[in-house]
Amino acid sequence: MVAANVLLGISQGLTWSTTVIMKIDLVGPQRRGLAMGLNESTGYLAVAFTALLTGNIAAHSGLRPEPFLVGVAYAALGLGLSTLAVHETRSHAVHEGAGHTDSSAMTNRQVFTQTSVREPALSSASQAGLVNNLNDGLAWACSRCCSPRPD
Number of CB atoms found within 10 A of residue 25's CB: 20
Question: Does the pLDDT at position 151 exceed 60?
Answer: no
What's the rounded mean pLDDT across residues 55-71? Answer: 88
State the pLDDT confidence band at 135, using cuts at 50, 70 and 90: confident
- For the chain, the maximum distance between any two Cα atoms, rounded to a whole number of angstroms, is 67
Q: Which of 13-17, 91-95, 110-114 has the lowest mean pLDDT?
A: 13-17
Percent of the chain with pLDDT over 70: 89
Encoded amino acid at 99, one letter: G
Spell out the long-range contacts of 49-55 with Cβ–Cβ below 8 A and sequence spacing 24 or more: 50/74
Give pLDDT, residue 72: 92
Q: Which residues of 100-137 are buried (b: 16+ CB within 10 A; e: fewer)?
A: eeeeeeeeeeeeeeeeeeeeeeeeeeeeeeeeeeeeee
Distance of CA 14 to CAs 8, 32, 37, 68, 118, Å? 10, 19, 19, 23, 25
Highest mean pLDDT among 18-27, 68-77, 123-132: 68-77
Inter-residue contact 67 to 54 (CB < 8 Å): yes
Question: Pick the residue with more confidence: 115 or 142?
Answer: 115
Contact 144, 12 (CB under 8 A): no
Query: At residue 113, what is the residue type?
Result: T
- 20 pLDDT higher than 60: yes
Contact in structure between 116 and 126 (CB atoms under 8 Å):
yes
pLDDT band at residue 149, thresholds of 50, 70 and 90?
A: low
Q: Return the percentage of the chain with pLDDT > 90, whole number.
A: 12
Nearest to 35 by CA among 120, 99, 92: 92
Q: Which pLDDT value is given to residue 30?
A: 83
